[in-house]
Amino acid sequence: MDMTLLVALPIILPLLFGAVSLTLLKNHKAQRWLAVIGTFSILLAACALMWHCQQHGIIVLEVGSWPAPFGIVLVADLLSAIMVLLAAITGVATALYSLKTVLTRFERFGYYPLLHLLLAGVNGAFLTGDIFNLYVWFEVLLVASFALLIQGGERAQMEGAIKYVTLNLLSSALFLTAIGLLYGLVGSLNMADIAQRLTQVEDQRMVTVVAMLFLIAFSIKAAAFPLFFWLPASYHTPQVAVSAIFAGLLTKVGVYALYRVFTLIFNSEVEFTHNILLWMAVLTMLTGVLGAAAQFEVRRILSFHIISQIGYMMLGLALYTPLALIGGVFYIMHHIIVKANLFLVAGLIYRLRGSFELKRLGGLYKDHPGLAVLFLIPALSLAGVPPLSGFFAKFILIKAGVEAHAWWAVGIALLVGLLTLYSMMKIWNEVFWKAVPSPAPAIPAPGGNGLLYCITGSLAAMTIAIGLFAEPIYQLAQQAATQLLNPQLYINAVLGAD
């Protein structure tokens, strides 16, 4: 088999399994099996892609053999491969978790086909090398996420969905505007070709204007300050499995797009663009964590923490030094696993106690010490306690900040880490440590929690593993950052060295 076809597999597989799953809509058992087999096959493909990327460098597939820059290309550099692998891990965890938690009536309305479609959209966005194709994949994943978000049709879901849909469509329209202006400037859609041609554009001010449009469009998708309001309004409303995959993946597609565009295409006016990014990163961290401090519902607290963590990832891009980019990539790897896991644990809490409200929960440490440990590992990792994955992620970023003399950013990053710890301890105290509030809530006690424990346990094990074996992960992030800082590698791989 031609090795470059491997790049298309993470997109083709979920589309294929989604289509088959859709034809078997009535057969719930088949759908569940397809979800498990489908996500595991994506995981295998993602691992193979990762391995090839490390061995052979950037892999490029010219779709339909139309040569770049005329046809659409799929490009897998290390950052893309890492993102696809993380998406695959989250996909497997969510699919397995869904087996026990998703109600039959949602399965009847196409839960599993939508899950496949969502993964296809996410992987497509990570792998495409064409800016308009990126827009198309964004829409694919958005449509799937819209439908997943409102399954259930409750009032809160409707209210949240209107904000989610509106702001994401606004962001898509701005993205499309930016693509139109960029195409008018350089006459190309291939990202490598755009990067090359932009240096020859005379009016560099226009380039910066377009860069700002991309920044706004992707910042809305990434839920960065001040454009994050759709996220805390909607992420706590759907089923837990949906919340988990949204929390793990969707905002990270926005972050990935920022990383791609602001390293490959808009890298000429770094003092201006990346300075704005730095301020946005700092304010995102701060507002997210302060928002979380004011919440008393587990999933809402976690939603606000997504925002503050996005700030750290943007900080890595904003500082734009080799070490900062390593830190940013490391942070993304750590964050996706931890965040999805925290939502899955929140789902377990709900299964055992029937509530997400802090004041109605309590005493879980006594009754379910295993769950308490499973919560504590990702929670402490999120706050950055050694030796878990979050410690090294934060450490690299803060060291990069010190080296770049960005003292304000460093100070706030440290403060936000502390406040994150406060938030996590708030959940710990209220949910696990304090006595059961009286009158004791009715406990539904559904069976089949063993599989759910296994899933969250595996993700927690990954968090520990990233912390204990930080060196190989660091080297991987370093290789990815080296590629990001040398866009010529990407350009040569796509257009051929000349």
Residues that bind another protein (CB under 8 A): 132, 135-136, 139, 142-143, 146-147, 150, 153-156, 158-162, 165-166, 169-170, 172-173, 176-177, 179-181, 183-184, 187, 189, 229, 232-234, 236-237
Rounded least distance, CB 117 to another protein, Å: 13
Q: Which is closer to another protein, CB of 19 or CB of 156?
A: 156
For the bound state, the minimum distance from the C-beta of residue 360 to another protein, rounded and expressed in Å, comes to 18
**Which CB atom, from 154 or from 472, has the smaller least distance to another protein?**
154
Residue 166 C-beta: closest distance to another protein, Å: 6
**Least distance from C-beta 159 to another protein, angstroms?**
4
Query: d(Cα 166, Cα 300) in Å, to the nearest integer?
Result: 20
Write the burial class of residue 290 (CB in 10 Å: 0-12 exposed, 13-18 middle, 19+ buried): middle
Minimum CB separation of residue 300 from another protein in Å reads: 9
Tokens of 463: 């968090």
Token pair for 269:
């006016």
Tell me whether residue 166 is exposed, middle or buried, using C-beta atoms within 10 angstroms of its C-beta: 0 to 12, 13 to 18, 19 or more.
exposed
At 30, list the tokens: 């088949």
Whole-number Å distance between alpha carbons of 232 and 305: 10
In the bound state with another protein, the residue whose beta carbon lies nearer, of 6 and 161, is 161
Taking the complex as a whole, the smallest distance from the CB of residue 218 to another protein amounts, in Å, to 16
Residue whose CB is less far from another protein, 26 or 155: 155
Q: Closest Cα partner for 251 from 358, 181, 324, 164?
A: 164
What is the rounded distance in angstroms from the CA atom of residue 148 to the CA atom of residue 272? 38
Who contacts 447 (Cβ-Cβ below 8 Å, separation ≥6)? none
When the beta carbons of 18 and 160 are compared against another protein, the nearer one is 160
Residue 163 · residue 233 · CB < 8 Å: yes
Nearer to another protein, 147 or 436 (CB): 147
User: Residue 19 or residue 454: which is nearer to another protein going by CB?
Assistant: 19
Closest distance of CB 173 from another protein, Å: 5
Q: Which two tokens stand for residue 186?
A: 């350089």
Q: How far is CA 168 from CA 135, 211, 396, in A?
A: 12, 19, 32
